[in-house]
Each structure stands twice: as structure tokens, then as C-alpha cells.
């Protein structure tokens, strides 16, 4: 009888130790209001995802290459009409204030690599629209990144708030997790940073 009690005790002890660790491995803290797990973020992000969009109307080279490079060299990533995100691999993205839900991703030479379409919980289009709402009203949001020029979807993002994002591969697996300026792969290794100040 004592041995049976010991077995039950140790079984409960093992479950008490392992289950919180297993659930913690799959859950990343989101906004204050809700904790989003990888699975719940994935489910929401993949709703209404389009596998392909026509990108033929977009120019293959950044039409504002010189101006954007000047702003980057001066570390002026926010101007009156655009926001530039500079990545540690040399690439950059641009969002224009009159169409803030669309992001253009370029390599260091200004060649278009990807176009990102973001959908917020409020129906916004411009930066003025965005400024009417708090983060709590705008997020969570999702985005779909399409490769240029093929138009095929290559990344599906779920924005928990303005600084934390899950990015999934089209297959559904977690690709990266952005927290502020740092990007981590699915194993927790930092692989990229953004908005790096020029030396």
C-alpha cells in the first residue's frame, strides 16, 4: 500500500514539474489583456490568408532610393511622410504615411524583395487614421508578406502589439518572433535586429 502511495506521489510530482514547463515552452506572453500562444496566434493569423497576389504594378527598384539612402545615412528613419526600418543585414523597409498598411522591403541595393500588407482591427489606411486610436484599439493585427516578383506568400505575421510579432512560414511553423528591436528564431536565438543607429 505504501509503495502504491509513493508511485502516485511521484507521478503527481513529475506532472507538477513537467506540465508548467511544457506549456511555458509553447506560450509567449502577449499584450496585458491576453496571452497569445503560438497556436492561437497561428490560427488567427492564417484566417483569410491569400497564397498569391499580383505584384506586377510595383517597381523593382525603390523609386525613392536616393532620398531613402540619404535619410538612412543621417539616421533619420522617421520623416514627415515615411517611416524607414533599417535591418542589421543591410536591408530596409519603407512605409509611407499616406498608405501605412503597405510595407516595401528592399535589399541594401534598393531592389524590391517583398511587399507586406497589414490589417489592423480598426479600418485604417493612413498614419492620420492610425493616430486616432490607441494601441489597445489597433492590436492585435496581422500581415501577409509576399515575395517580389512572384507574388507568393512567404510570411504570415501576427502583431500582438506595436513591438511584438510572431511571423509564421506558409507551412504553419513559427519562423521568427520579434520583441522590440530584436528578432529570434523558433529556438530563441537572436537572428536579426532593426532600427540600428549608424555609427
Look at residue 159 and tell me if it is in a domain. yes
Residues of the chain with pLDDT > 70: what percent?
A: 81
Cα atoms found within 13 Å of the Cα of residue 18, Cβ hemisphere only: 6
pTM for the predicted model, two decimal places: 0.79
Largest CA distance in the chain: 81
The overall average pLDDT reported for the chain is 84
Given a cut of 70, whether residue 22 has pLDDT beyond it is no
Question: What pLDDT is attached to residue 14?
Answer: 39
And the C-alpha cell for 199?
Answer: 555609427
In terms of pLDDT, which residue wins out, 11 or 171? 171
Which residues make Cβ contacts (< 8 Å) with residue 110, sequence separation at least 6? 61, 62, 65, 68, 69
The answer to whether residue 135 sits within a structural domain is yes
For residue 50, what pLDDT band results from cuts at 50, 70 and 90? confident
Number of domains the chain contains: 1
- Domain extent, residue 144, equals 30-193
3-state SS assignment for residue 195: coil
- Does residue 25 fall inside a structural domain? no
For residue 3, pLDDT beyond 60 = no
- Residue 80 is predicted with a pLDDT of 82
Residue 81 has pLDDT above 70, yes or no: yes
How distant, in Å, are the alpha carbons of 26, 51, 131, 153 from that of 147? 28, 11, 29, 6
Residue 49 lies in a domain: yes
What does each C-alpha distance from 102 to 6, 93, 142 come to in angstroms? 61, 10, 12
Looking at the domain assignment, is residue 99 inside a domain? yes
Q: Is residue 162 a contact partner of residue 40, using CB atoms and an 8 Å limit?
A: no
- pLDDT over 90 (residue 37): no
* pLDDT of 197 higher than 80: no
Domain-embedded: residue 1: no
pLDDT higher for 15 or 35?
A: 35
Amino acid at each position: 500500500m505504501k509503495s502504491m502511495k509513493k508511485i502516485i506521489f511521484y507521478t503527481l510530482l513529475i506532472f507538477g514539474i513537467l506540465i508548467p514547463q511544457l506549456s511555458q515552452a509553447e506560450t509567449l506572453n502577449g499584450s496585458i489583456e491576453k496571452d497569445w500562444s503560438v497556436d492561437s496566434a497561428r490560427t488567427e493569423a492564417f484566417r483569410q490568408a491569400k497564397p498569391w497576389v499580383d505584384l506586377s504594378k510595383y517597381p523593382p527598384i525603390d523609386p525613392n532610393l536616393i532620398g531613402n539612402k540619404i535619410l538612412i545615412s543621417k539616421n533619420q528613419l522617421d520623416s514627415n511622410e515615411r517611416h524607414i526600418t533599417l535591418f542589421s543585414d543591410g536591408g530596409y523597409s519603407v512605409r509611407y504615411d499616406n498608405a501605412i498598411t503597405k510595407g516595401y522591403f528592399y535589399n541594401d541595393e534598393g531592389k524590391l524583395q517583398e511587399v507586406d500588407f497589414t490589417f489592423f482591427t480598426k479600418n485604417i489606411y493612413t498614419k492620420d487614421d492610425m493616430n486616432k486610436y490607441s494601441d489597445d484599439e489597433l492590436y492585435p493585427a496581422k500581415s501577409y508578406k509576399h515575395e517580389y516578383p512572384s507574388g507568393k506568400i512567404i510570411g504570415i505575421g501576427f502583431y500582438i502589439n506595436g513591438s511584438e510579432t510572431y511571423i509564421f512560414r506558409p507551412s504553419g511553423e513559427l519562423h521568427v518572433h520579434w520583441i522590440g528591436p530584436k528578432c529570434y528564431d523558433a529556438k530563441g536565438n537572436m537572428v536579426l535586429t532593426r532600427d540600428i543607429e549608424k555609427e
